[in-house]
Each structure stands twice: as C-alpha cells, then as structure tokens.
Amino acid sequence: MSLYLEIPEWPLSFPFRTFENVGEIIVPPHWHKEIEMIFVTKGSVNIGYDGQIIQVHEGEIFVFGSGESHYFVASPGSNRLVFQFDLNLFRDSLFKDTGHMELVKLFEKAENHSVNWPYEVKEKVIACLGDLFEEMKYLKIGYEHAMISSLLKLMTIYYREIPAKEEKQESANFTEALNNHDTLERLNEIFIYIENHYSEGITLDEIAGVVGFSSYYFARFFKKNTGQTFMQFLTDYRINQAKYILSHEKIPMIEVAEKSGFNSVKTFHHVFKEQVGMSPLKFHKSIFGNN
C-alpha cells in the first residue's frame, strides 16, 4: 500500500476509526478521501499542509478535508487523538436536500485549525470527539448508535458554526475520482510506483505501462482524475518530499536534492523556490533556525 495514498482499514461495520498516537512520530506526505481530525492532547505537532508548516499545540484541533495532502512531525512527549471517517456515512436519502452545501465542499471551505474557531465552538467539537473516543474504547452495547449520533452532531456544528476560511484559489482534489473503486485502485498503483521510484527518472511511457495504458490514454486519465499532468504531480510530490526532509533532517542540500528526486542542486533550488516562494535553505532555517 502506498504511503502517499492511504486507504484506512475500518475496525467497525461502518467507515469510522479513532486511535491515539503517543510520543515522537513522523508521518510522511500522504492523502486520503476520508476526513481526518487531529486533536493534540499533549505537547505539539508540526503539520505540513498547503505549503506551510503549521504548529498545532495542546488543546487544539486540525482538520484535513477529502483529498488534502498532508504530513506531520510530532515531538517527544506529545499525544494526539486521530479521527477518520468517510463522508459516505451521510450520503443516504436523508441527506439529499439540494439546499444543503455538498459535504465535501463543506469541509473544503471550513477553517482547518481550531485557533480560528470561536472558543465555545471548539469546546463543542472536543466534546463530540471525546464521546467518539470513549465509545470506540469500550464498545458498549449500542455503541454504533452513540457514535453515529456524535458524528451527526459534529456535522451540525460544521454546517452552522465552523467559520469559513479565507477565499483563495481552490486546488484540485480527488473526491470525484475516489468515489470510483476502479479508479482508486489504478491511482493507488500509480502512487505506489511513484513512492518507490520518485528519486529516479520516470518517463510517461514507463508510468503508463505500470497500469497497462498507452501514454496518450494515461495522460488523459491522470489529468482528469487529479487535475494535474503527471509531470506536474511528480514535481509536486518531489517538492513535498523535500519539504518533509528539510523539516526534520539536517543534511547537505545536495543530499536533499538527491533524496527527493532532483538530478541537480540547481534544478532543485529553482523549482523549490518557484513553488514554495523561498529557497530550500531559507525553508530549512524557518524550521531549525541557524542551529
């Protein structure tokens, strides 16, 4: 299974899970169609999201919408509760009122970080998450109903009380593609290959052969289902890898370039600065300072 495309294994009869992460941990760049909420209960976590490193402290929540790429580096002595659920939970006849904002868009437009929510709203969300975690921990009779009840309460809070983030150009998301199982499997094959070979030169013919497509059909398939050309995506993936390396390793830039798949430091520096808005060295210093 690709580390970049995560497909959760659900321990219950419906697509929801929660678990606790304790201590130092590094989660490489990845994405999934499920909503993910991280509640930091102790210490802090550095989260890579939307081209930034965001520090989430004890008592704060950070939420990832469907198809949003992210990674995080947790410090020693920190604890997090992680919640993941599939929005298909709410897609039955009860929720087909066209007057409601489509659920995926609801999370796309909402503020991700609880520091930007009113205090009382954050407390309501924390109460829902606490109930969900307790129900998952003990699985008392009727837990399914209790958990669905808490998730519905959470959705109500999102519709009515979570503020919208500032308007900006929307990035491509993978939601429509991920609702098709065959497409999901094809994309997963592609991402597994990228994960294993991104540090090498990958041609369009080579990656098309992985899924048994002609290069022409593959180019159309990939653009349709990701919103990017394959080379754009591969470059973004390599930049994400570079940011991940720069955010937790202190190694020479030539090694960062090689490990993230660029064939020269000059190319790496140019592409990184163009996409991130600062040089790799400046990005590294923004994490570690001058140490």
Domain extent, residue 243, equals 180-288
CATH number of the domain enclosing 127: 2.60.120.280
Query: Are 273 and 279 in contact, with CB atoms under 8 Å apart?
Result: yes
- Name the token pair of 111: 């503020």
Together in a domain, 187 and 258: yes
Together in a domain, 74 and 151: yes
Together in a domain, 124 and 192: no
Q: How far apart are CA 153 and CA 125, in angstroms?
A: 9
Together in a domain, 122 and 191: no
268 Cα distance to chain centroid: 24
Contacts of 154 (CB under 8 A, 6+ apart): 125, 128, 129
How many separate domains does the chain show? 2
The answer to the question of residue 72 being in a domain is yes
Which residues lie across from 6 on neighbouring strands?
none
Of 279, 239, 244, 241, give the one whose Cα is nearest residue 48: 244
- For 156-213, what is each residue's pLDDT tens digit? 999 999 999 987 655 545 545 544 557 767 877 887 788 888 888 899 999 999 999 9
Q: What is the pLDDT of residue 291?
A: 59
What one-letter code names the amino acid at 53?
A: I
The answer to the question of residue 166 being in a domain is no
The answer to the question of residue 250 being in a domain is yes
Q: How much of the chain is helix, strand and coil, in % rounded to 5?
A: 50, 20, 35
Percent of the chain at pLDDT exceeding 70: 86
Q: What is the mean pLDDT of the chain?
A: 84
Together in a domain, 155 and 30: yes
- For 69-127, what is each residue's pLDDT tens digit? 888 877 778 899 999 998 888 866 455 554 344 788 889 899 999 999 999 999 999 99
The answer to the question of residue 116 being in a domain is yes
Q: How far apart are CA 158 and CA 149, in angstroms?
A: 14
Together in a domain, 34 and 109: yes
Together in a domain, 33 and 133: yes
Q: How far apart are CA 190 and CA 213, in angstroms?
A: 11
The answer to the question of residue 167 being in a domain is no
Whether the full predicted model's pTM is greater than 0.75, yes or no, is: no
